[in-house]
Structure 1
Amino acid sequence: MSVSIESSGCGKATDVGQSVKPGSASAATRSSLDGSVRSTPWDQVESCRLASVSPWRNFRWRNGQRHYSGTYWSSTGCTHIIYESRLELARLLFADFDLDVNHIVAQPFLLSAEVDDRPRKHIPDYMLFGSGLPTVVDVKPQSRLAKAQFTFGWTRELVEQRGWRYQVWTEPTDTELANVRFLAGFRRYQLFDPQLLEQVRAADLDGVAFAEACRSFPDFSVPLVRSALLHLFWTQYFTVDLARPLQSSAVLRKRNCV
């Protein structure tokens, strides 16, 4: 049986705006081949080229640092993606879980522009590519949004001039984050028996409780079946309400049958 998981909103977005001097904006990118830097006028930047750049910043780990940095293996692109805080890691989890996202780039460019007669610079956290418009994402805790509104304002103005989406992402609910973080532990398709996955997909599990489904395949151990079902939750073959804690009593629903 397939469980389809529905997210009720990956964080919150804020809408702010500022004026930018026409023609002053540019984007610097770092080559994924040799690390070389290229600067391009903003109105000539193409999203397809940004999809293949390296992160703008390098980061280090040191004892006592205030930021929580690391790399996350994304099932979306089968590659590692960097993050510089726990909240950025949360955004990566939700992006990796989103069926509309098929590519994720961290720190895609250094954006420069003249705003209020002063040079300004900003590095967005992520750029998401998929079935819709490219989306430039900045991640910021709710408590720090006010201080960043000016920067986010002129960044939004420039991003939307290119016809892309801009999102400021803050904390999701505790339950949503706990559910997605738990399911992410089952994201690596290489770890699951293809024969078991095929049998689970072929079975008529729509409307069956999760605990009962785990006992429905006598040729496989219950832990193996449980893991396979949770992997299919992650891939959203089955749907489930992320706003409610995942429980063994949850009823499995195929994504197209809800």
Structure 2
Amino acid sequence: MQAKRFGATALVCGVAVGLLAACGTRHVSRDISPDGVAAEVIFPAPERAVLKEGTFPNLDNLRQVGAGVSKEQLYHLLGRPHFREGYAGVREWDYLFHFRDAGGVTTCQYKAIFDRNYLAQSFHWQPQACAERLREPAANAAPAPTPSAAPRRFAISADALFAFARADAEDLQPAGRADIARIAGELRDPGDLRRVRVIGHTDRLGNESDNRALSQRRAETVRQLLIEQGVPAQRVVAEGRGAAEPVAGPCQAQQRAALIACLQPDRRVEIVAEVER
């Protein structure tokens, strides 16, 4: 069985992925943690790309990329990485993407960083403004929905859900599990339910990439629990917004413990249930 697995890995690395033949090439970002977060994110020089022309990515595929995707899944969504980073033992993949605008073509670099199990956990853009490409276009103006068609919103404090700075299912507080079960009970029957968005947020403490990764992991954990409670999986999506949408006050506290307490409202998970009009 081990021989078969080795052979399958060699086939993916050497044939199906083509330019991934340089398996095991070291990463360029520094101090990648077991959880898939780099102490310093470094992008390779664009001229070092193996696929020098880059690609025009499918935006719908890009929006499907999230914490926990495997290398095989990432390959099927985005294609092979564009730099000579390899497959086996490699902790990051880099891409050179182009987007066509009214004024011409914009080029962006995109990076996925993998955890110790080689599942992608954090994602980065250069320049950072390229991340806005993932936002879904605003819908055409439509008549105002009736009150019964307005999205249903549930907000749960992340501190009630998880231990501080944690995001996995085993870190959930009992009160958080109870809240998720209650919300799932209200969303279990599809009816006119169109989509459930699970949105993770953090406070401003820590760096941007860590906060974005933490918020994404929390949202993915809550999404999975809603599915386990009977909410249709195809209707539930997760996204992490880091510290981009704070709701706490100015919070000028000098001592860290007081500042953490003041920023508590920012550490939250929102569940937005959208219904058909």
TM-score over 0.5 for the pair: no
Q: TM-score, normalised by structure 1?
A: 0.28
> TM-score, normalized by length of structure 2?
0.27
More RCO (CA 8 Å, sep 6+):
1
